[in-house]
Structure formats: C-alpha cells, structure tokens
Structure 1
Amino acid sequence: MKRYDPQKEEILSAGIDIGTSTTKVVISKFSLMNMAGGTHMPRIEIIDKEILYRSPIFRTPLQTRTSIDIEAVEKLVKQEYQLAGVSPSDIKTGAVIITGETATKENAQQMVHQLSDHAGDFLVATAGPDLEGIIAAKGSGAYEYSKKMGKTIANIDIGGGTANAAVYKSGRLLGTCTLHIGGRLIEFNGGTIQSISPPILKVLENMGMSLEEGDRRDESKIKKITDFMADSIARMLNRNVSEPDLPLLLGHKPNWLEDIDAIMFSGGVSECLYEHEEHAASQTQYDDIGQMLAASLKECKALLEWEWVTPVETVRATVLGAGTQTTEISGATIHVDGRDLPLRNLPVYQIPFGHQLEEGLSRISQAVEEALDVYDSQREGINFALYLTEIPYLGFRDVQTLAHALMDAVKTKPKTDQPLVIILESDHAKVLGQTLKTVNPSQTVICIDQINVEHGDYIDIGNLLQTSVVPVVIKTLTFHH
C-alpha cells in the first residue's frame, strides 16, 4: 500500500480450524477504505473480502486419544502458509478456532494459544461451542441468508464431535445450542467398533441397547443411534429437548424464542449431504458414522417439516467464518500507543451510564472493584477492558471529570503500569484518551470506539494499521472438559 494514501489499505487474514476430524487453513485479503467524505470524520470499513487460498482438508493430528500432536499441527500450518505464499508476519488478523471434541483434549488450550502466537502478528485463539456455531453460520451463508430474506434460519454445523446450532433472523443472532452429535462419536476399524464416545454410551444405556468397543459392526443398531441423533436435532430446533436427549446436550438448552422458518446444515457431515468438495481437495478417509448420520438427517420426517436451504460452504464453513467473519475495525479517531499492541484475551466489564453523566460516574469505582473480583480475584494483575455505554453528550469539562474518575478508580488495580483499556460505543475515544494521558502522563492508555461488545466477552486488539485503525476480534474462550 502507498504510504501517502491512508484512505485505503489491504491486510491479510488467516483462518485455522482444528476440529475433531479435520484441520483446515484459509488465507483471505481484506480491503479497507475510508467511507466518509473528505470533510467528515474518517470511517474506515472493510469493503471487500477475497479468499486467496484454501488448504486441502487434513485429518487432525493426534498423539493419543486425549492429546493433540501440536508439532504436527504447527508443521501442517507452516506448510500451507508456504504453499499460499505468505509468512506469519504477513498475517494481520484472523482466528485459530478449536472445535468439537478437540477442545476437550488435555493440551487443547496450550495448542491453540501456541499456534496463535506463531502463526501471525495478530491471530487470536478461540474456543467454545456457542462461538463455533456463530462462526459456522457466518461461513455457511446462513447469516447472510437471514439478512437477505428476513427469515428465521437455524444453521446446524455437524462435524466429528458436535452439532452447533446458531439461529439468526434478519442478521440478528437469536440463540445457540450444542449437542454431542457428530460423525466420529462412533469409529470403526474395518468390521469392528474401535471407539464409542461417553455421551453415546449413555444414550445406548437409555435405549436399552448394548454396544461396546470390539463388537462387530451392527448396521441396524447403529442406524437406530443415528436416527435418534437426527430426531434429537429436530427436538432441539423446536426448543423441546426431552429427558432422553440430555446426555447429548453440551451446555445450555436452546435459548431462542422465535419459531424457525428454515434450516441449513454445514460441517463435515453436511458434506456427506451435498458433496461440495472436489475429491482432490480432501486428503481424509473416515471409518465412522458420518455417512449414516447424513442418511438419517435426510430421512428424518421431523426435519423435513422445515425448508432446507443449501449452504454456500459445508465442511469449510467454520474455517471460512474464522478467517473472514471474526474481525471488526475500530473507529479512526482512537487513542492507542502502538508499543502496547497487540493485546489479547482481555475480559470486558460493562459500565452503563444510562445517558446520565452523574449516574455513570457514580458506578465507575464500584465497577472496577467488581471487575477485579471477577477477573483478578487473586490480585495477580490480570488486565481487563472497561466498556462505557449509554454515555450522554460530553462537553470539555465533562470529559475531564470522566478522565479523573477513571484514573482514581484504577488506582486499586495491583499493576498500575499495565495499559488502561477503554472501549466506547460513542465517538469519544481520541479526546478521552488524550485527556487520560494529560491527567496521568505515565499511564499507558488504549482507548477505542465504534465497537459493540457485551459484558463478559473477551476482546483482542491488533496492531495499529496504516489507516489509523486497529483490528478487533470479540470472542469467547471456553475449553469444555
């Protein structure tokens, strides 16, 4: 990019998905541009996303049934970067997401953080079943379909270990739910059963059926299980999870209120339904229940009551979502010290002002204490971000008053030398950041705006780009054991 033209910029993004069955890499290019007129305050937006490289689909390397082969995953990613013609230093944003049963492995957390540190300047580590569902719905096309058609659509991303549902209407997330349903929950070695996952053993017990590792492959018994899985998905979509379904439930029950108009399937099992991938693109061969589960989905009368929408992507939905849909761009009028970036895994504590300055000021001190109790209970110096919402119009003196209140409140933090991170809904980041520095010149301040987060989210803030904005990724970090 030309240095004298800060109105445009191109950055590279990577998506890396390490799933129960497969690992995939996608490299994308984002085009950023100032969409405000010459006399207006800059507003930098992502105007185009182009996928530059899609890796083959690899079998996820495992050392044992309980641990990932970290060295093999890193070697695989390095190899794909070379084939794509990029180096880690070229990557400015994106996400490494660990999905399904892989997130339960004993070294899952170590692996995803280690990979995010080595695979790019700002590649964030993400995990958690709800986030998997959200990212997959964006990669599959369900999110865009909901915006375009105005319908309520559920995307069900079924991989090797989990079925992650995310429900959208008109581009708005209504809710999520995850079930232990996937192609690798029963694996075979030729004609015998090699492994059965614990949730499926519980289902078998409830059904009064006996199936054990080492038993011969009994197609009729296994079809009963995959039919039950398909029916369970239908009950989940109807918000009618029953007692027999509970062993399959991972986390909370369905939490949307609206009835669903249409459904879309993505993930490895949906590839068995739609066969989008060319055979050469996949280097994986399976000996599991994936094909039988796909057949059960197609035959399930309860699922056929909904309109089925064909996905844009099947097995690559999550990796494309991770690489192209996780990044947001901050406002251009921000205050950051580039030496303190990137910042990763900052929990967010919200302070609502209720559109009244005095009301908000009265909450700041207690909010910082509560944030310390929640996120740094041992007072080890774990940092967090304060998210100021519903701020009224602020005059010059109001900004000074707010800055003094924030500086007084954070004096109780155990490490006063760590950056003070403020996120704003409104366009006050630059003036507030500069005022905070005036109040205490020794305090490092990161103050950004035009970002919408939620209380309890985690936020990663990337390096300052040439267009004077920072890439931001909002996420959850849940390694379910």
Structure 2
Amino acid sequence: MCKNEHLISVGIDIGTSTTKMVVSRFLLKNTAGKTRIPSIEIINKEIIYESPIFRTPLKSSSEIDMEKIEEIILSQYEAANIVPEDVQTGAVIITGEAATKSNAEEALFYLSKQGGDFLVATAGPDLEAIVAAKGSGLYDASKQSSKVFANIDIGGGTANIAVYQYGKLLGTCTLHIGGKLIEFKNEVIIYISDRIKNSFSKLGMNVGIGDYISKTKLKIMTDHLAMVLARTLQQRLQADDYQYLLGHPPNWSERIDVITFSGGIAECIYKKEKQLENGVSFNDIGMVLAESLLENRSLAEFEWLIPKETSRATVIGACTQTTEISGATIQVDPSLLPIKNLPIHRIEFPNWTDEKSTIIVNAIREGIQIYDPFEEGQNFALFFTDVPLLSFQEIHKLVDAVIDGINYKKDPFQPLVIILKKDLAKAIGQTLAIKYPSLKCVCIDQINSEFGDYLDIGKLLQSGVVPVVMKSLAF
C-alpha cells in the first residue's frame, strides 16, 4: 500500500433545533509487520473544519426547508474548501422531531446523494444514541473504568440514551424529551408537541396553544420530564412513562453509575460554547428543562461526568466514529462500489457439520422472505456470525450452500455481499470467483454488525481496503 493514505469524512446533523456540519481527515496505516498479512487501520482522526451552529430551517411545523438546508451545506463545503468528490465517508443524521417531518426521508437521501460518493444517511434513534456517546467522549471514558456509563443526548425533540461498560454497548433507549417540545412567541405558546399534550392535563394544568404560561407552570412540566428520565435510567418506569418512549424500553440490565449529557440541553447545563441567559432560551423550554435536570434529586444520585462535547457531540460522532475499515483480506468487484443502504441478514454459524449446508440454505431463504417478500428484487447482505477457522473443504461447502440459497432469489445473479468478522473474506471470495465466475460478489471482513441493520461500502481505496458503515434507517 502507499505509505500514507487519507480519507475525508463529513458529518451533517439536522436536528429539531439546529443544523451542524463537521469535516475530518482520517490517516490510514498498515499496522502489521512486513512479514504479516496487512492490517490497515485508522490511526488518526483530525477535525479540520467545524461549521457554525445554524437554526434548522422549516417551511412549516411539518416540513423541512430543503432549499435552505442545501444552501447551508453548500456554503459550509465552500468554507471548508472541499467539494463532494473529495468525500469518501461520513454520515447525514436527522434527529429528534426533525425525523418526523413529512419530507425527512427525502431530505436525507437527497443530501446523501449530493454530499459525496460515500456519504450515508441515517435516522435510527439507537444509532444516534451511539454516535452521540462517542462524540461526547463518554465511550472513551467507559473504556478506562469498570463503572457503567450512560450518555443522554437531549436536543429539541428527543433524549437518546446509550449505556456502556469497558467500551461495550450495553443498551439504548430514546425518549420524547427535548427543549422544543413547547415553543413560545412573546411568552405565548405557539407549539406543543403531540407527545406531551396529555401530560399537562395529567399534571392538573389546562394549557394549550395561544395561552400564556408562567415559568412556574413550565417548571412543573420540566420537573416531570426530568423525573421520567431519571426513572428510565433507574429502570423504574411507571405506567404513564411509556408514552414518552420512542421505540423499545430500556434494554440494559446493569445499574448505571455515571451519567453525562450532550446535545443542545447539555449546552444549557454546562455552557461550554457560550453563556446563555437565564429563563426560557430560544423561545422554548430548553433552559428550564436544564434547570430541572440539575435540581432532580434522583439524577443527583449518579456520578456526573462533564462531556468533551455538548451540542456538537452527534455531528462530531457522525463525522469521526461511524466508519470502519475492512482490510486487506477482502475480495471485492470494484465495479459494484459504492453500495448504499443494503439490509443485513444475520446467519448464526455454529460448528460445521454436514447438516449445516441445509441450515445455511434455509437461513438465506428466510432472508428472502424478510427482505424481498413480493419478489421485487430487493438485495440484502449475508452476515455470518461466529465463523470458526475453516478448512479448504469447509470453505467449499459453505460456498456451495450459499449458492444453493441464493438460487431461491428472483434474480440469483444479483451482486452477492458477504460480511464476516474473521479474516476469511478473500478465501471465500476467491472460491466463489473460481466456482461461479458469472456471479459478481463483495466479500469483506473485520466487520461486526452490532451498530445497525444496514450497510454502506465505499469505493476501493489505494491501499486495497474499503470504508464501511453499519447503520440503522428508521422513519
């Protein structure tokens, strides 16, 4: 490989309240010795540009203003002195209430297409929580301690929680708690999120759009939201708390020791970027919610960790933490790249037996039923988990089983994508090429699918590796 190779990564975060962009440069290096199989790794990540924090432009309460978003992004590309052709990896992430807008999905894929050959789009709350935890610095802190850490990324519309210990993800959860759930103009309510309208009546208040509301009444609501968050972290949800869940309930079993906050509300707590006025800031409940979090006695029982990043945590995580490298033991057809938004079908791989061929064929047929039930030709990747070191004969048996399985597809000759964790991709890919030369395939390894359900693979680099992003797509 060339002595040094660089990647340019762009992160774009379109949130309920704000939109941000970050550009970073990755340095790739072969960390293996001269006599060993090359191991190409990202050894340095340097942030080379951070945009100002822009208000997310909306045409209405239900629609993102795509023209103005595009103007912001293009102006920041120019300010960063890059063009889309320079970008090889990164992520466009839409978060919080912005993900519920009528054109949110259209906005993501448009920006993904315009941003570069390998700029991915994601809107899944679980991945948002993971990305924010990495951008805030909590993920790195958890690697150095036996304690259980939770990052709570609170923006305008949601609170994304990611829980870690020893750098391992233990679970996630997302709540409808954020600074722009209620908005004002001249101290009169102009917007209340549907998610919390019922909460006012349950708290004994008759409040609606057009009403004046005092800080005292607001504080009753934000104190309630802070308590819902505390009970979530403690795994003590009450019946009424479930209305705030976005997706699944908390799915970790360990007791949390340390918490940190990121996102716009964290800026109101820590005031790292600028001093904010007291009271209702930005014509929403952000400052009052931050006050309630600081005063909550249950939250005070946790150890608090000051984050490295607050309002920029998600965009920095998206820019620097979403990309993995699939190494020199891969087999790819460059004409198939880049690949975007390919669903991943996990296939458990116990110890090899003659019956395993049938199990693999049936697992692939199951994937066809899941991802292409109407025989429209939807492709999907095969991720084989826990694959042991295979003999020459076992590799041939695996390849034969895979071919038998994909023959049930509507188009058995559509590109075959295989993902492994161990360094077996080249052996499997070359066997496929010899036995079935008419089948185009991409076999990559050193990848784990724990971070999402979809796959993006970038163009083949000079070093013979490819950048990979595992992600979730959810609207």
TM-score by length of 1: 0.95
- Structure 1 counterpart of 2:154, from 150, 158, 169: 158
Match status 1:36 vs 2:32: yes
1:392 Cα deviation from its structure 2 partner = 3.2
Q: Kindly report which structure 2 residues correspond to 1:8-23, keeping only aligned pairs within 5 A, or say none.
A: 8-23=4-19
2:420 aligns to what? 424
> What is the CA distance between 1:279 and its match in structure 2?
7.0
Report the AA paired with residue 428 of structure 2.
L
1:368, distance to aligned residue in structure 2 (A): 1.4
Which residue of 2 is the match for residue 78 of structure 1? 74
Q: 1:300 aligns with which of 289, 296, 301?
A: 296
CA drift at 1:7: 4.4
SS in 1 for 2:332: coil
In the superposition, relative to structure 1, how do residues 171 and 413 fare at CA in structure 2: closer, same or farther (>3 Å)?
A: same
Judge conservation of contact 1:96–1:115 (CA < 8 Å) in 2: yes
Partners of 2:452 and 2:168 lie apart in 1 by 19
SS in 1 for 2:407: helix
Match of 2:191 in 1: 195
- In the alignment, is residue 90 of structure 1 matched against residue 69 of structure 2? no
Kindly indicate whether the alpha-carbon contact (under 8 Å) linking 2:451 and 2:472 is maintained by their aligned counterparts in 1: no
Q: Structure 1, residues 320-353: CA drift from partner, whole Å, max 9, x if none? A: 0100000000021111111110111111112222
Other structure's SS at 1:358 match: coil
Query: Is contact 1:349–1:455 with CA below 8 Å preserved after alignment?
Result: no
Q: Is the 8 A contact 2:195 2:243 kept in 1?
A: yes
Q: CA deviation at 1:246?
A: 2.1
Query: 1:19: Cα distance to partner?
Result: 0.4
Aligned-partner residue type, residue 147 of structure 2: K
Runs of 5+ in structure 2 lacking a partner?
Answer: none
| Distance in 1, Cα, partners of 2:450 & 2:306 | 32
Aligned to 1:372: 368
The 5-angstrom pairing of residues 210-225 of structure 1 reads: 210-225=206-221
Distance 1:357 1:345 in 2: 33
**Pair 1:331 & 2:327 matched:** yes
CA RMSD of aligned residues (A): 1.5
Larger CA deviation: 14-23 vs 194-203: 194-203
What SS does the aligned partner of 2:431 have? helix
Structure 1 residues 260 and 95: alpha-carbon distance in aligned structure 2, compared to 1, 3 A threshold: same
- Per-residue CA distance 1:92-135 (angstroms, 9 max, x = gap): 10100000001111111111011011101101111111111111
1:314 CA displacement: 0.2
CA displacement at 1:391 relative to structure 2: 2.6
The reply to whether residue 464 of structure 1 matches residue 460 of structure 2 is: yes
Q: 1:198 is paired with a residue of what secondary structure?
A: coil
Distance in 2 between residues matched to 1:278 and 1:233, nearest whole Å: 26
Distance 1:393-1:262 versus aligned 2 partners, 3 A rule: closer
Indicate which of 179, 182, 201 corresponds to 2:178: 182
Question: Normalising by the residue count of structure 2, what TM-score does the alignment of the two structures yield?
Answer: 0.97
On the 8 A contact 1:10/1:29 being kept in 2, the answer is yes
1:290 equivalenced with 2:305 (yes/no): no
Q: Give, as a single letter, the amino acid of the residue that structure 1 aligns with 2:134.
A: K
How far apart, in 1, do the equivalents of 2:230 and 2:134 lie? 21
Compared with structure 1, are the counterparts of its residues 244 and 392 closer, same or farther at alpha carbon in structure 2 (3 Å cutoff)?
A: closer
* 393-402 or 105-114, which deviates more: 393-402
Please name the residue that 1:235 is paired with: 231
Give the C-alpha shift of residue 289 in structure 1.
0.4
| 1:351–1:360 Cα contact (<8 Å) kept | no
Higher deviation after alignment, 63-72 or 25-34:
63-72
Residues 131, 32 of structure 1: alpha-carbon distance in 2 compared, 3 angstrom cutoff: same
Q: Which amino acid aligns with 1:271?
A: E
Correspondence 1:240-279 to 2 at 5 A: 240-278=236-274
